[in-house]
Structure 1
Amino acid sequence: MPARRTGARRRPSKRRRLLVPATVIAVLGLAVGVAGVVEALGGFPAPSLADAPRGHAANVTPSGGIASPSTAASAVGVSPSPSAAVPPEPVTYPMVGPRTWRTAGGRSPVLGTSGQLLRFRISVENGIAGITPEEFADVAVATLGDKRSWTGDGRWRLQRVGPNESAAFTIYLATPATRDQLCDEGFDRYTSCRNGNSVVINVARWAHGVPNYGAPLADYQQYVINHEVGHRLGQGHQLCPGPGKLAPVMQQQTLGMHGCKPNPWPMQNGKFYAGRSGQYNDPIPDPN
């Protein structure tokens, strides 16, 4: 066998060489560069389209998550369209209701930490739309459970109960004509009242408040609950202590402020805030 020569030139391979376009090489080089940077930073998992909400394209954030529409829009310099706030459904009612009721079910926690416990129910007259018994109950419970309300100074505890449980009183949301029937005071249809164990909130006042009250409707709603429940707890009407001062909650703020500022709460700084006993000879406005 002839001796094998070292350093001899190898024959060219018969395999065909693959020619890669320069643009592909550039893209691959960029991808390799990016991968190197990501690896140096600790890496991130590749986002999956399976993570996107159904029916929506996946907008991938730099961290690998799914971007919100506002994030995605800002990433490309487009301002997201603002979401329209849904206004609350207005409370509507007939002047004369059927005098039948829907009562909120379930129980609230006991409101207050000490004092006599009274349980109450919440009922909304049929024909009143835009507010359910549960929604009305939520406002009443939040109001009466506030430390500025009747449970705030340790004299009373209150608890809302369901329709088949024993209760010391019922808070009714009633149409104007049913208000007159429950209050047994003759034709009024404007104010709210308390009659025995019936605390009657006139839905017309609940929905619209009173002119020139000087505070938001939510404040008036808190006032009318605290005022009428205050009667059930043994409180009578009181007078304005003086111009520019807060009105006592037992002042008839529905009929006039007499120089006082609106105030929905019986407690101020943890103490009962009261004026002199008495009431003004204010006329009842026309309910129409």
Structure 2
Amino acid sequence: MPKTARRAAAVAALALAVSGCGGERQPVAAPAAGPVITAIGEATSIPPPPAEREPVTQSAPVEAAITFPRTGSGQWMFTPGSDEVAGKSGRLMRYRIAIETDIDGVGPAEFAKDIRTILGDPRGWTAGGQWRLQQVGPADSADFTLYLATPSSRDRLCGGTPDSYTSCRNGSNVVLNVARWANAVPNYGAPLEVYRQYMVTHETGHRLGQGHELCPGPGKRAPVMEQQTLGLHGCVPNPWPFPDGGREYTGPPGEYDDPIPTGTS
């Protein structure tokens, strides 16, 4: 099946919505994503300059390359919900999953499964008994929406100072920058899978009320709420708040004044 036909079939099979304005630096919150099938903000209707339409390809160490433009359309495929509930006790937080339609190399069903696996991991946020998490469909009420976004759409959703590099949480928007999902960050010191676990858990942690933390000491695990995308400061990568399945692992509150790299790679 031609690529355009496959994309049309995928869009037809999933709920389609248009979004506009929601990194790790937690900018001032913008309005939460509204009902699906609703345009949020005006920016997404403005065609990008021709130079920005050139695709950016990140060669991820997975089966296929993930290809995306720097400036996406702002149109979203919302994946169907699931009956699975992660966690046995605590407040139920329901979330939707949306993938920008310009992104190739990320299957919606596989991506949703990856997110459910990360958020349902026994070392994740449900381990403390305070939270339960469930993915719901596009028409269901939700406490937050998790977006996989192109760099420019990341900037619109995150608000604050645009950087096109980090991921973020902004109000009820949990935004994963596809450039980071595809290629992690240089010198992270752990496989891509670990970085993906970190970025999902970190940004979701912000939605659950968690602030930034510092490295507790050289050679120790980085707290999941440390801004590991920008630097580890002597710690080693760690994507989990309960890495041993027992007591929550944290560091001193605060954040470093690390520079944010330029570009989207």
Task: Give TM class, smaller chain.
Answer: 0.7 to 0.9
- 2:123 maps to 148
Structure 1 residues 226-241: aligned runs within 5 Å:
226-241=201-216
Structure 1 distance, partners of 2:224, 2:263, is: 23
TM-score w.r.t. structure 1 length?
Answer: 0.69
Task: Report the secondary structure of 2:68's partner residue.
Answer: coil
Task: Report the secondary structure of 1:285's partner residue.
Answer: coil
Task: Report the secondary structure of 1:152's partner residue.
Answer: helix
Structure 2 distance, partners of 1:110, 1:205, is: 27
**1:183 maps to 2:158:** yes
Shift in Å at residue 134 of structure 1? 1.7
**1:164 maps to 2:106:** no
Shift in Å at residue 89 of structure 1? 1.5
Q: Give the unaligned 5+ runs of structure 2.
A: 1-61
Residue identity matched to 1:230: G
- After superposition, the C-alpha distances for 1:227-285 in whole angstroms (9 at most, x for unaligned) are 00000000000000000000000000000000000001111332211000000000000
**1:125 maps to 2:100:** yes
2:247 to 271, 274, 279: 271
- 2:190 maps to 215
Q: Give the unaligned 5+ runs of structure 1.
A: 1-86
Paired residues of 1:107 and 1:160 also in contact (CA < 8 A): yes
Structure 2 distance, partners of 1:170, 1:132, is: 18
Shift in Å at residue 108 of structure 1? 4.0
- Quick check: which has more Rg, 1 or 2? 1
TM-score w.r.t. structure 2 length?
Answer: 0.75
Structure 2 distance, partners of 1:108, 1:235, is: 26
Residue identity matched to 2:151: P
Residue identity matched to 1:202: N
- 2:200 maps to 225
- 1:283 maps to 259
- Structure with the larger strand share: 2
Structure 1 distance, partners of 2:262, 2:90, is: 40
- 1:204 maps to 179
Structure 2 distance, partners of 1:124, 1:108, is: 20
Task: Report the secondary structure of 1:92's partner residue.
Answer: strand
- 2:78 maps to 103
